Protein backbone atom coordinates (compact mmCIF):
# COMPACT_ATOMS: atom_id res chain seq x y z
CA UNK A 1 0.00 0.00 0.00
CA UNK A 2 1.07 3.57 -0.72
CA UNK A 3 0.95 6.23 1.96
CA UNK A 4 1.07 10.01 2.03
CA UNK A 5 0.53 12.95 4.38
CA UNK A 6 -1.62 15.99 3.66
CA UNK A 7 -2.98 19.05 5.36
CA UNK A 8 -6.25 20.43 4.00
CA UNK A 9 -9.95 20.48 4.61
CA UNK A 10 -12.02 17.30 4.27
CA UNK A 11 -14.69 18.69 1.93
CA UNK A 12 -12.01 19.59 -0.63
CA UNK A 13 -10.45 16.12 -0.91
CA UNK A 14 -10.77 14.39 -4.29
CA UNK A 15 -10.63 10.92 -2.84
CA UNK A 16 -12.61 7.71 -3.20
CA UNK A 17 -13.39 8.04 0.49
CA UNK A 18 -12.88 10.60 3.23
CA UNK A 19 -12.86 9.17 6.76
CA UNK A 20 -13.88 11.24 9.78
CA UNK A 21 -14.59 10.38 13.41
CA UNK A 22 -17.71 10.67 15.57
CA UNK A 23 -17.58 10.58 19.36
CA UNK A 24 -20.24 8.91 21.47
CA UNK A 25 -22.95 10.06 21.86
CA UNK A 26 -23.36 11.65 18.42
CA UNK A 27 -20.63 14.27 18.69
CA UNK A 28 -18.83 15.24 15.50
CA UNK A 29 -15.05 15.67 15.50
CA UNK A 30 -13.75 18.88 13.94
CA UNK A 31 -13.15 17.41 10.45
CA UNK A 32 -16.61 15.80 10.57
CA UNK A 33 -18.07 19.18 11.43
CA UNK A 34 -16.29 20.82 8.49
CA UNK A 35 -17.76 18.19 6.18
CA UNK A 36 -21.16 18.68 7.73
CA UNK A 37 -21.01 22.45 7.20
CA UNK A 38 -20.10 21.98 3.55
CA UNK A 39 -22.89 19.41 3.24
CA UNK A 40 -25.47 21.67 4.94
CA UNK A 41 -26.08 19.41 7.92
CA UNK A 42 -26.40 16.27 5.82
CA UNK A 43 -24.21 14.36 8.28
CA UNK A 44 -25.63 15.75 11.50
CA UNK A 45 -29.12 14.90 10.20
CA UNK A 46 -28.13 11.28 9.69
CA UNK A 47 -26.58 11.17 13.13
CA UNK A 48 -29.62 12.75 14.75
CA UNK A 49 -31.76 10.00 13.23
CA UNK A 50 -29.64 7.51 15.16
CA UNK A 51 -27.77 5.78 12.30
CA UNK A 52 -24.40 6.42 13.93
CA UNK A 53 -24.09 6.65 17.69
CA UNK A 54 -20.31 6.96 17.71
CA UNK A 55 -19.71 3.64 19.46
CA UNK A 56 -16.07 2.56 19.30
CA UNK A 57 -15.40 0.47 16.20
CA UNK A 58 -18.74 1.20 14.48
CA UNK A 59 -18.75 2.53 10.91
CA UNK A 60 -21.24 4.09 8.50
CA UNK A 61 -20.51 4.55 4.79
CA UNK A 62 -22.26 7.47 3.06
CA UNK A 63 -22.54 8.04 -0.68
CA UNK A 64 -23.16 11.28 -2.57
CA UNK A 65 -22.61 13.60 0.37
CA UNK A 66 -23.48 17.05 -1.00
CA UNK A 67 -20.90 19.82 -0.99
CA UNK A 68 -17.90 17.47 -1.07
CA UNK A 69 -15.46 16.37 -3.77
CA UNK A 70 -15.07 12.77 -2.60
CA UNK A 71 -17.03 9.71 -3.77
CA UNK A 72 -17.91 8.59 -0.26
CA UNK A 73 -17.65 9.58 3.37
CA UNK A 74 -16.92 6.99 6.04
CA UNK A 75 -17.99 7.84 9.58
CA UNK A 76 -16.06 5.96 12.25
CA UNK A 77 -17.23 5.73 15.86
CA UNK A 78 -14.56 6.71 18.39
CA UNK A 79 -16.41 5.94 21.63
CA UNK A 80 -16.65 8.49 24.45
CA UNK A 81 -14.37 11.49 24.03
CA UNK A 82 -13.23 11.27 27.66
CA UNK A 83 -12.20 7.65 27.21
CA UNK A 84 -10.40 8.16 23.89
CA UNK A 85 -6.89 6.69 24.40
CA UNK A 86 -4.26 4.77 22.47
CA UNK A 87 -6.36 1.62 22.17
CA UNK A 88 -9.47 3.46 20.95
CA UNK A 89 -7.38 5.40 18.43
CA UNK A 90 -5.84 2.21 17.03
CA UNK A 91 -9.24 0.48 16.96
CA UNK A 92 -10.68 3.38 14.95
CA UNK A 93 -7.86 3.28 12.41
CA UNK A 94 -8.27 -0.49 12.15
CA UNK A 95 -12.00 -0.40 11.47
CA UNK A 96 -11.54 2.43 8.97
CA UNK A 97 -8.90 0.57 6.98
CA UNK A 98 -10.83 -2.69 7.15
CA UNK A 99 -13.99 -1.01 5.84
CA UNK A 100 -12.12 0.85 3.08
CA UNK A 101 -10.50 -2.39 1.99
CA UNK A 102 -13.77 -4.29 1.95
CA UNK A 103 -15.96 -1.68 0.28
CA UNK A 104 -13.93 -1.22 -2.88
CA UNK A 105 -12.30 2.14 -2.21
CA UNK A 106 -9.14 2.46 -4.23
CA UNK A 107 -7.86 5.22 -1.97
CA UNK A 108 -8.85 6.85 1.28
CA UNK A 109 -8.07 10.02 3.19
CA UNK A 110 -8.10 9.58 6.96
CA UNK A 111 -8.91 12.57 9.14
CA UNK A 112 -8.88 10.32 12.20
CA UNK A 113 -5.19 11.16 12.50
CA UNK A 114 -6.15 14.73 13.42
CA UNK A 115 -7.96 13.67 16.59
CA UNK A 116 -5.88 14.30 19.70
CA UNK A 117 -4.82 11.34 21.82
CA UNK A 118 -3.92 12.26 25.38
CA UNK A 119 -0.14 12.67 25.88
CA UNK A 120 0.62 11.59 22.31
CA UNK A 121 2.15 13.72 19.57
CA UNK A 122 1.16 14.04 15.92
CA UNK A 123 4.21 11.92 15.07
CA UNK A 124 2.94 9.20 17.41
CA UNK A 125 -0.50 9.26 15.77
CA UNK A 126 0.93 8.98 12.27
CA UNK A 127 3.47 6.28 13.16
CA UNK A 128 0.81 4.24 14.92
CA UNK A 129 -1.76 4.70 12.13
CA UNK A 130 0.77 3.48 9.57
CA UNK A 131 1.58 0.37 11.60
CA UNK A 132 -2.08 -0.43 12.31
CA UNK A 133 -3.05 0.09 8.66
CA UNK A 134 -0.34 -2.28 7.43
CA UNK A 135 -1.33 -4.82 10.09
CA UNK A 136 -4.96 -4.66 8.99
CA UNK A 137 -4.22 -5.53 5.36
CA UNK A 138 -1.62 -8.20 6.25
CA UNK A 139 -2.43 -11.66 4.88
CA UNK A 140 -0.49 -14.91 5.02
CA UNK A 141 -1.92 -16.95 2.17
CA UNK A 142 1.12 -18.23 0.30
CA UNK A 143 0.04 -21.83 0.87
CA UNK A 144 -3.58 -21.34 -0.23
CA UNK A 145 -4.23 -22.44 -3.82
CA UNK A 146 -7.30 -20.19 -3.88
CA UNK A 147 -6.70 -16.85 -2.19
CA UNK A 148 -9.58 -14.84 -0.72
CA UNK A 149 -9.18 -12.01 -3.20
CA UNK A 150 -10.37 -8.60 -2.09
CA UNK A 151 -12.21 -7.38 -5.20
CA UNK A 152 -10.87 -3.85 -5.32
CA UNK A 153 -8.32 -3.59 -2.53
CA UNK A 154 -7.28 -0.34 -0.92
CA UNK A 155 -4.12 0.87 -2.61
CA UNK A 156 -3.46 4.33 -1.24
CA UNK A 157 -3.95 5.88 2.17
CA UNK A 158 -3.55 9.54 2.99
CA UNK A 159 -3.26 10.73 6.57
CA UNK A 160 -4.39 14.25 7.32
CA UNK A 161 -2.71 16.62 9.75
CA UNK A 162 -4.28 19.84 10.99
CA UNK A 163 -1.43 22.27 10.47
CA UNK A 164 1.20 22.73 7.79
CA UNK A 165 3.99 22.79 10.37
CA UNK A 166 3.00 19.25 11.31
CA UNK A 167 3.78 17.93 7.82
CA UNK A 168 7.52 17.41 8.37
CA UNK A 169 7.31 15.47 11.66
CA UNK A 170 4.41 13.50 10.21
CA UNK A 171 6.45 12.52 7.14
CA UNK A 172 9.27 11.30 9.36
CA UNK A 173 6.84 9.36 11.53
CA UNK A 174 5.34 7.78 8.40
CA UNK A 175 8.78 6.59 7.29
CA UNK A 176 9.38 5.14 10.76
CA UNK A 177 5.95 3.53 10.83
CA UNK A 178 6.55 1.88 7.46
CA UNK A 179 9.91 0.50 8.59
CA UNK A 180 8.42 -0.88 11.80
CA UNK A 181 5.48 -2.38 9.90
CA UNK A 182 7.91 -4.00 7.43
CA UNK A 183 9.86 -5.44 10.35
CA UNK A 184 6.65 -6.77 11.86
CA UNK A 185 5.57 -8.31 8.55
CA UNK A 186 8.92 -10.09 8.29
CA UNK A 187 8.54 -11.37 11.85
CA UNK A 188 5.00 -12.55 11.14
CA UNK A 189 5.92 -14.23 7.86
CA UNK A 190 8.78 -16.14 9.45
CA UNK A 191 6.60 -17.06 12.43
CA UNK A 192 3.68 -18.24 10.31
CA UNK A 193 5.81 -20.45 8.05
CA UNK A 194 5.50 -24.14 8.91
CA UNK A 195 8.38 -25.96 10.55
CA UNK A 196 9.13 -28.00 7.44
CA UNK A 197 9.85 -24.78 5.54
CA UNK A 198 11.23 -22.49 8.23
CA UNK A 199 14.23 -24.57 9.32
CA UNK A 200 17.44 -23.21 10.88
CA UNK A 201 18.90 -23.15 7.36
CA UNK A 202 15.91 -21.12 6.14
CA UNK A 203 16.35 -18.61 8.98
CA UNK A 204 20.04 -18.28 8.14
CA UNK A 205 19.20 -17.64 4.49
CA UNK A 206 16.59 -15.06 5.50
CA UNK A 207 19.22 -13.24 7.55
CA UNK A 208 21.60 -13.27 4.59
CA UNK A 209 18.85 -11.85 2.42
CA UNK A 210 18.31 -9.00 4.86
CA UNK A 211 22.04 -8.32 4.82
CA UNK A 212 22.05 -8.21 1.01
CA UNK A 213 19.03 -5.94 0.93
CA UNK A 214 20.80 -3.27 2.99
CA UNK A 215 24.35 -4.06 1.85
CA UNK A 216 24.44 -1.06 -0.50
CA UNK A 217 25.10 1.20 2.46
CA UNK A 218 28.03 -1.04 3.44
CA UNK A 219 26.68 -0.99 6.95
CA UNK A 220 25.33 -4.52 7.19
CA UNK A 221 27.19 -7.82 7.48
CA UNK A 222 26.00 -11.37 8.07
CA UNK A 223 27.93 -14.38 9.26
CA UNK A 224 26.60 -17.89 9.89
CA UNK A 225 28.31 -20.20 12.36
CA UNK A 226 27.97 -23.87 11.41
CA UNK A 227 27.97 -26.90 13.70
CA UNK A 228 31.76 -27.27 13.40
CA UNK A 229 32.26 -23.61 14.37
CA UNK A 230 30.05 -24.10 17.40
CA UNK A 231 31.93 -27.24 18.38
CA UNK A 232 35.19 -25.34 18.18
CA UNK A 233 33.73 -22.60 20.37
CA UNK A 234 32.55 -25.13 22.94
CA UNK A 235 28.84 -24.42 22.63
CA UNK A 236 27.98 -27.74 24.25
CA UNK A 237 24.65 -26.57 25.57
CA UNK A 238 23.29 -25.32 22.23
CA UNK A 239 24.61 -28.39 20.43
CA UNK A 240 22.95 -30.73 22.93
CA UNK A 241 19.55 -29.43 21.80
CA UNK A 242 20.38 -30.01 18.13
CA UNK A 243 21.45 -33.62 18.66
CA UNK A 244 18.05 -35.17 17.94
CA UNK A 245 17.48 -33.26 14.71
CA UNK A 246 18.40 -34.01 11.11
CA UNK A 247 18.47 -30.28 10.41
CA UNK A 248 21.86 -28.68 11.04
CA UNK A 249 21.88 -25.97 13.74
CA UNK A 250 23.08 -22.45 12.94
CA UNK A 251 24.18 -19.38 14.81
CA UNK A 252 23.28 -16.24 12.88
CA UNK A 253 25.34 -13.11 13.42
CA UNK A 254 23.97 -9.94 11.81
CA UNK A 255 25.69 -6.62 12.26
CA UNK A 256 24.53 -3.13 11.43
CA UNK A 257 26.88 -0.20 11.83
CA UNK A 258 24.99 3.05 11.64
CA UNK A 259 26.75 4.61 14.61
CA UNK A 260 30.30 5.73 15.27
CA UNK A 261 32.95 3.06 14.63
CA UNK A 262 34.14 3.04 18.24
CA UNK A 263 30.63 2.95 19.67
CA UNK A 264 29.77 -0.32 21.42
CA UNK A 265 26.82 -2.16 19.88
CA UNK A 266 23.42 -2.91 21.28
CA UNK A 267 22.89 -6.61 21.05
CA UNK A 268 19.66 -8.51 20.47
CA UNK A 269 19.39 -12.29 20.81
CA UNK A 270 16.36 -14.24 19.55
CA UNK A 271 15.39 -17.81 20.41
CA UNK A 272 15.24 -19.71 17.14
CA UNK A 273 13.74 -23.12 17.88
CA UNK A 274 12.12 -23.75 14.50
CA UNK A 275 10.07 -26.55 16.02
CA UNK A 276 9.83 -27.60 19.65
CA UNK A 277 8.56 -31.16 20.09
CA UNK A 278 9.94 -31.12 23.62
CA UNK A 279 12.55 -33.70 22.63
CA UNK A 280 12.63 -36.91 24.72
CA UNK A 281 10.50 -35.04 27.29
CA UNK A 282 7.92 -35.03 24.50
CA UNK A 283 5.11 -32.50 24.53
CA UNK A 284 1.48 -33.71 24.43
CA UNK A 285 -0.10 -33.97 20.97
CA UNK A 286 -2.97 -31.45 21.03
CA UNK A 287 -1.89 -28.02 19.85
CA UNK A 288 1.69 -29.11 19.25
CA UNK A 289 1.56 -27.51 15.79
CA UNK A 290 1.86 -24.15 17.56
CA UNK A 291 5.42 -25.00 18.48
CA UNK A 292 6.37 -23.91 14.97
CA UNK A 293 6.16 -20.44 16.57
CA UNK A 294 9.03 -21.25 18.91
CA UNK A 295 11.31 -19.16 16.69
CA UNK A 296 9.28 -15.97 17.11
CA UNK A 297 12.03 -14.46 19.28
CA UNK A 298 14.41 -14.93 16.36
CA UNK A 299 11.82 -13.56 13.94
CA UNK A 300 11.29 -10.47 16.08
CA UNK A 301 14.97 -9.57 16.39
CA UNK A 302 15.41 -10.07 12.64
CA UNK A 303 12.36 -7.86 12.06
CA UNK A 304 13.72 -5.23 14.42
CA UNK A 305 17.07 -5.39 12.67
CA UNK A 306 15.39 -4.82 9.30
CA UNK A 307 13.43 -1.86 10.69
CA UNK A 308 16.59 -0.31 12.17
CA UNK A 309 18.54 -0.73 8.93
CA UNK A 310 15.65 0.65 6.88
CA UNK A 311 15.45 3.71 9.15
CA UNK A 312 19.24 4.04 8.97
CA UNK A 313 19.34 4.61 12.71
CA UNK A 314 22.59 6.19 13.89
CA UNK A 315 23.59 3.33 16.18
CA UNK A 316 25.40 0.01 16.10
CA UNK A 317 23.24 -3.09 16.38
CA UNK A 318 24.20 -6.75 16.48
CA UNK A 319 21.68 -9.58 16.28
CA UNK A 320 22.45 -13.15 17.36
CA UNK A 321 20.12 -16.02 16.55
CA UNK A 322 20.92 -19.48 17.91
CA UNK A 323 18.68 -21.76 15.89
CA UNK A 324 17.88 -25.47 15.85
CA UNK A 325 14.97 -27.88 16.03
CA UNK A 326 14.21 -29.67 19.30
CA UNK A 327 13.50 -33.27 18.29
CA UNK A 328 13.46 -36.69 19.94
CA UNK A 329 15.51 -39.49 18.38
CA UNK A 330 18.23 -42.01 18.96
CA UNK A 331 20.86 -39.31 19.23
CA UNK A 332 18.78 -36.83 21.22
CA UNK A 333 19.70 -35.56 24.68
CA UNK A 334 18.09 -37.48 27.53
CA UNK A 335 16.90 -36.34 30.95
CA UNK A 336 19.86 -36.54 33.29
CA UNK A 337 22.43 -35.75 30.61
CA UNK A 338 25.04 -33.22 31.71
CA UNK A 339 26.47 -30.76 29.20
CA UNK A 340 29.16 -28.09 29.36
CA UNK A 341 28.14 -24.67 28.11
CA UNK A 342 30.48 -22.28 26.31
CA UNK A 343 30.90 -20.40 29.58
CA UNK A 344 32.32 -23.52 31.19
CA UNK A 345 29.33 -23.88 33.51
CA UNK A 346 27.81 -27.36 33.47
CA UNK A 347 24.09 -28.04 33.17
CA UNK A 348 22.08 -31.09 34.14
CA UNK A 349 19.26 -31.44 31.61
CA UNK A 350 16.35 -32.62 33.75
CA UNK A 351 13.81 -31.82 31.07
CA UNK A 352 14.69 -31.70 27.38
CA UNK A 353 11.66 -29.44 26.82
CA UNK A 354 13.42 -26.60 28.66
CA UNK A 355 15.60 -26.18 25.58
CA UNK A 356 15.26 -22.46 24.93
CA UNK A 357 17.54 -21.52 27.83
CA UNK A 358 20.05 -24.13 26.66
CA UNK A 359 20.55 -22.43 23.30
CA UNK A 360 20.27 -18.89 24.68
CA UNK A 361 22.96 -19.38 27.33
CA UNK A 362 25.62 -20.09 24.72
CA UNK A 363 24.46 -17.14 22.64
CA UNK A 364 24.78 -14.94 25.75
CA UNK A 365 28.35 -16.12 26.28
CA UNK A 366 29.16 -15.63 22.60
CA UNK A 367 27.73 -12.10 22.89
CA UNK A 368 30.62 -11.13 25.20
CA UNK A 369 33.06 -10.90 22.31
CA UNK A 370 31.11 -8.01 20.81
CA UNK A 371 31.64 -6.03 24.04
CA UNK A 372 28.03 -4.89 23.96
CA UNK A 373 26.68 -2.08 26.09
CA UNK A 374 23.35 -3.78 26.44
CA UNK A 375 22.01 -7.22 25.61
CA UNK A 376 18.33 -8.02 25.21
CA UNK A 377 17.17 -11.55 24.54
CA UNK A 378 13.72 -12.33 23.20
CA UNK A 379 12.23 -15.79 23.60
CA UNK A 380 9.03 -17.83 23.64
CA UNK A 381 10.55 -19.28 26.76
CA UNK A 382 7.92 -20.55 29.19
CA UNK A 383 4.32 -21.66 29.34
CA UNK A 384 4.44 -20.27 32.88
CA UNK A 385 4.72 -16.74 31.48
CA UNK A 386 1.44 -17.26 29.65
CA UNK A 387 -0.15 -18.34 32.93
CA UNK A 388 1.21 -15.25 34.67
CA UNK A 389 0.53 -12.52 32.09
CA UNK A 390 -1.78 -14.07 29.50
CA UNK A 391 -1.60 -12.68 25.98
CA UNK A 392 -1.48 -9.00 26.88
CA UNK A 393 1.92 -8.26 28.37
CA UNK A 394 5.35 -9.61 27.54
CA UNK A 395 7.32 -10.74 30.61
CA UNK A 396 10.30 -8.50 31.30
CA UNK A 397 13.31 -9.45 33.42
CA UNK A 398 16.47 -7.39 33.80
CA UNK A 399 19.67 -7.19 35.79
CA UNK A 400 19.57 -3.41 35.47
CA UNK A 401 16.64 -1.24 36.56
CA UNK A 402 17.45 1.59 34.15
CA UNK A 403 17.26 -0.78 31.20
CA UNK A 404 14.03 -2.28 32.54
CA UNK A 405 12.48 1.18 32.79
CA UNK A 406 13.52 2.10 29.25
CA UNK A 407 11.99 -1.09 27.86
CA UNK A 408 8.77 -0.70 29.85
CA UNK A 409 8.50 2.85 28.56
CA UNK A 410 9.16 1.81 24.96
CA UNK A 411 6.46 -0.84 25.25
CA UNK A 412 4.05 1.73 26.57
CA UNK A 413 4.85 4.19 23.77
CA UNK A 414 4.48 1.53 21.10
CA UNK A 415 1.35 0.06 22.68
CA UNK A 416 3.25 -3.23 22.78
CA UNK A 417 3.48 -3.54 26.50
CA UNK A 418 5.70 -5.48 28.87
CA UNK A 419 5.46 -6.07 32.62
CA UNK A 420 8.44 -6.47 34.89
CA UNK A 421 8.87 -9.62 36.96
CA UNK A 422 11.34 -10.13 39.80
CA UNK A 423 14.74 -11.66 39.30
CA UNK A 424 15.66 -11.94 42.97
CA UNK A 425 18.46 -14.23 44.07
CA UNK A 426 16.01 -16.09 46.29
CA UNK A 427 14.70 -17.85 43.19
CA UNK A 428 18.15 -19.07 42.10
CA UNK A 429 18.02 -21.87 44.67
CA UNK A 430 15.41 -23.71 42.65
CA UNK A 431 18.05 -24.39 40.00
CA UNK A 432 20.36 -26.38 42.29
CA UNK A 433 21.63 -29.68 40.94
CA UNK A 434 23.42 -32.36 42.96
CA UNK A 435 25.56 -33.32 39.95
CA UNK A 436 26.20 -30.20 37.86
CA UNK A 437 26.56 -26.44 38.36
CA UNK A 438 22.84 -26.06 37.76
CA UNK A 439 19.75 -27.87 36.52
CA UNK A 440 17.91 -26.61 33.45
CA UNK A 441 14.56 -26.47 35.27
CA UNK A 442 13.46 -25.09 38.62
CA UNK A 443 10.19 -26.91 39.20
CA UNK A 444 6.63 -25.73 38.62
CA UNK A 445 6.67 -22.71 40.90
CA UNK A 446 7.64 -19.38 39.33
CA UNK A 447 8.54 -21.13 36.08
CA UNK A 448 9.16 -18.01 34.03
CA UNK A 449 11.32 -16.50 36.78
CA UNK A 450 13.54 -19.53 37.23
CA UNK A 451 14.01 -19.65 33.46
CA UNK A 452 15.16 -16.02 33.57
CA UNK A 453 17.36 -16.85 36.59
CA UNK A 454 19.03 -19.56 34.53
CA UNK A 455 19.81 -17.03 31.77
CA UNK A 456 21.04 -14.43 34.26
CA UNK A 457 23.95 -16.72 35.15
CA UNK A 458 25.29 -16.21 31.63
CA UNK A 459 24.66 -12.46 31.52
CA UNK A 460 27.03 -11.17 34.19
CA UNK A 461 29.24 -9.12 31.90
CA UNK A 462 26.71 -6.58 30.61
CA UNK A 463 23.41 -4.84 31.20
CA UNK A 464 20.89 -7.44 30.21
CA UNK A 465 17.16 -7.82 29.80
CA UNK A 466 15.08 -10.84 28.87
CA UNK A 467 11.68 -10.65 27.18
CA UNK A 468 9.50 -13.74 27.54
CA UNK A 469 7.07 -13.52 24.62
CA UNK A 470 5.43 -16.95 25.01
CA UNK A 471 2.04 -15.28 25.45
CA UNK A 472 2.40 -12.37 23.05
CA UNK A 473 4.21 -13.66 19.96
CA UNK A 474 1.23 -15.38 18.42
CA UNK A 475 -2.52 -15.77 18.66
CA UNK A 476 -4.26 -19.13 18.92
CA UNK A 477 -7.80 -20.00 17.84
CA UNK A 478 -9.54 -19.51 14.52
CA UNK A 479 -7.52 -16.44 13.48
CA UNK A 480 -4.27 -17.93 14.69
CA UNK A 481 -1.04 -16.36 13.57
CA UNK A 482 2.12 -14.55 14.57
CA UNK A 483 1.61 -11.04 15.96
CA UNK A 484 4.94 -9.45 15.10
CA UNK A 485 5.45 -8.55 18.75
CA UNK A 486 7.72 -7.29 20.26
CA UNK A 487 9.07 -5.56 17.14
CA UNK A 488 7.20 -2.32 18.00
CA UNK A 489 8.61 -2.29 21.54
CA UNK A 490 12.17 -2.95 20.38
CA UNK A 491 11.97 -0.52 17.48
CA UNK A 492 10.74 2.22 19.83
CA UNK A 493 13.54 1.45 22.24
CA UNK A 494 16.04 1.85 19.39
CA UNK A 495 14.37 5.00 18.05
CA UNK A 496 14.61 6.53 21.49
CA UNK A 497 18.27 5.49 21.82
CA UNK A 498 18.96 7.10 18.46
CA UNK A 499 17.21 10.30 19.50
CA UNK A 500 14.68 9.92 16.70
CA UNK A 501 11.41 10.02 18.62
CA UNK A 502 9.04 12.95 18.31
Window 168 to 197, contacts with ligand BES (CB under 6 A): none
Please, where are the H alpha helices in 395-445?
401-413
Q: Which stretch binds Mn ion (CB under 5 A): 14-22, 183-191, 275-283, 339-347?
A: 275-283
Q: Which stretch binds Zn ion (CB under 5 A): 16-24, 32-40, 294-302, 453-461?
A: 294-302
Q: Indicate which residue of 55, 120, 257, 283 is catalytic.
A: 283
Tell me whether residue 8 or residue 383 sits nearer to ligand BES (CB atom): 383
Which residues are CB-contacts of 97 (< 8 A; sequence separation ≥ 6)?
Answer: 108, 132, 133, 136, 137, 154, 157
Instruction: Tell me the C-alpha distance between 101 and 155, whole Å.
Output: 9
353 binds Mn ion (CB under 5 A): yes
In three-state secondary structure terms, 409 is helix
Window 341 to 360, contacts with Zn ion (CB under 5 A): 356
Whether 357 and 250 have beta carbons less than 8 Å apart is answered as no
Instruction: Tell me the C-alpha distance between 252 and 277, whole Å.
Output: 22
For residue 187, the minimal CB distance to ligand BES (Å) is 16
Helix (H) or strand (E) holding 213: helix 200-213
Question: Could you give the dihedral angle defined by the CA atoms of residues 487, 488, 492 and 498, in that order, rounded to the nearest 10 degrees?
Answer: 40
For residue 354, the minimal CB distance to ligand BES (Å) is 4
End-to-end CA distance of the chain: 24
Active site residue 12: no
Tell me whether residue 107 or residue 353 sits nearer to ligand BES (CB atom): 353
38 binds ligand BES (CB under 6 A): no
Which of 36, 88, 166, 276 forms a contact with ligand BES (CB under 6 A)? Answer: 276
Instruction: Tell me the C-alpha distance between 130 and 320, whole Å.
Output: 28
Which of 367, 386, 431, 467 forms a contact with ligand BES (CB under 6 A)? Answer: 386
356 binds ligand BES (CB under 6 A): yes
Q: Which stretch binds Mn ion (CB under 5 A): 94-102, 169-177, 350-358, 494-502?
A: 350-358
Residue count, binding to Mn ion (CB under 5 A): 3
Phi, psi of 275 (to 5 degrees): -155, 135
Beta bridge partners of 326: 276
Tell me whether residue 103 or residue 351 sits nearer to ligand BES (CB atom): 351
HEC profile of 109-160: EECHHHCCCCCCCHHHHHHHHHHHHHHHHCCCCCCCCCCCCCCCCCCEEEEE
Q: Where are the beta strands (DSSP E) in 129-265?
A: 156-160, 220-225, 250-257
CA-closest candidate to residue 93, choices 70, 73, 113: 113
Tell me whether residue 367 or residue 381 sits nearer to ligand BES (CB atom): 381
Active site residue 283: yes
- Residue 382 touches which of ligand BES, Mn ion, Zn ion, none (CB < 5 to 8 A by kind)? ligand BES
Residue count, binding to ligand BES (CB under 6 A): 16
276 binds Mn ion (CB under 5 A): yes
Strands 272-276 and 316-326: parallel
Instruction: Tell me the C-alpha distance between 361 and 459, whole Å.
Output: 8
Which residues are CB-contacts of 88 (< 8 A; sequence separation ≥ 6)?
Answer: 56, 78, 79
Which of 5, 132, 207, 354 forms a contact with ligand BES (CB under 6 A)? Answer: 354
Which of 28, 70, 363, 384 forms a contact with ligand BES (CB under 6 A)? Answer: 384
For residue 326, the minimal CB distance to Zn ion (Å) is 6
Q: Indicate which residue of 125, 127, 243, 357 is catalytic.
A: 357
382 binds ligand BES (CB under 6 A): yes
Tell me whether residue 389 or residue 403 sits nearer to ligand BES (CB atom): 389
Kindly state the DSSP code that residue 481 receives in the 8-state scheme: E
Tell me whether residue 255 or residue 277 sits nearer to ligand BES (CB atom): 277
Tell me whether residue 365 or residue 472 sits nearer to ligand BES (CB atom): 472
Instruction: Tell me the C-alpha distance between 393 and 415, whole Å.
Output: 10
Instruction: Tell me the C-alpha distance between 276 and 296, whole Å.
Output: 12
279 binds ligand BES (CB under 6 A): no
Window 437 to 496, contacts with ligand BES (CB under 6 A): 441, 447, 470
Whether 297 and 222 have beta carbons less than 8 Å apart is answered as no
Tell me whether residue 47 or residue 379 sits nearer to Zn ion (CB atom): 379
Phi, psi of 421 (to 5 degrees): -115, 155
Which of 11, 24, 166, 276 forms a contact with Zn ion (CB under 5 A)? Answer: 276
Tell me whether residue 11 or residue 468 sits nearer to ligand BES (CB atom): 468
Which residues are CB-contacts of 99 (< 8 A; sequence separation ≥ 6)?
Answer: 59, 61, 74, 76
Instruction: Tell me the C-alpha distance between 295 and 355, whole Å.
Output: 12
327 binds ligand BES (CB under 6 A): no
Query: Which residues are designated catalytic?
Result: 283, 357
Task: Give the footprint of Zn ion on this chain (CB under 5 A).
Answer: 273, 276, 294, 356
Q: Which residues make up the interface to Mn ion (CB under 5 A)?
A: 276, 353, 355
User: In the complex, which residues of this chain contact ligand BES (CB under 6 A)?
Assistant: 276, 294, 351, 353-356, 380-384, 386, 441, 447, 470
Amino acid sequence: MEFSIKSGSPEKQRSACVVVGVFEPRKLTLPAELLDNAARNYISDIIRRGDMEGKSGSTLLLHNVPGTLCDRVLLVGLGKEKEFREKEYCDAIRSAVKTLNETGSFDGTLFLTETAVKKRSVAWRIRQATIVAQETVYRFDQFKSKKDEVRRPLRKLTFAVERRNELAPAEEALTQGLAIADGMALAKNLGNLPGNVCTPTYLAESAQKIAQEYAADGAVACQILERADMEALGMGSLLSVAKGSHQPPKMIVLQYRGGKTDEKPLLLIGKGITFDTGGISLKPGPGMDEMKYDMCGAASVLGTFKAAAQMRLPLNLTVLVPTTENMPGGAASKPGDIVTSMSGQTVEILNTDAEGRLILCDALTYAERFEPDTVIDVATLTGACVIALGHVATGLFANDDGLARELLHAGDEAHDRAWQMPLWDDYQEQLKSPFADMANIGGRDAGSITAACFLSRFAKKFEWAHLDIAGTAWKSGSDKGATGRPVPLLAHYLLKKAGKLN
